[in-house]
Structure 1
Amino acid sequence: MLHYAVVFFIIAIVAAVFGFGGIAAGAAGIAKILFIVFLILAVASLIFGRKR
Structure 2
Amino acid sequence: MDAATLRRARGWAVLTALSGILIREAGLHGRPGGKATWGPPAQAALRRLIATVRR
TM-score normalized with structure 1 length: 0.51
Cα RMSD for the two superposed structures: 1.8
Query: Partners of 2:15 and 2:52 in 1: how far apart?
Result: 13
* Structure 1 position 17 matched with structure 2 position 26: yes
Structure number with higher relative contact order (C-alpha < 8 Å, ≥ 6 residues apart): 1
Residues 12 and 28 of structure 1, relative CA distance in 2, 3 Å threshold: same
Asked if the contact 2:23/2:36 (under 8 Å) is kept, the reply is: no
Larger radius of gyration: 1
Moved >4 Å (runs of 4+): none
Q: Is the 8 A contact 1:8 1:30 kept in 2?
A: yes
* Structure 1 residue 30 corresponds to structure 2 residue 45: yes
**Identity over the aligned pairs, expressed in percent?**
5
How many residue pairs are counted as aligned between the two chains? 39
Unaligned runs of 5+ in 2: 1-9, 29-34
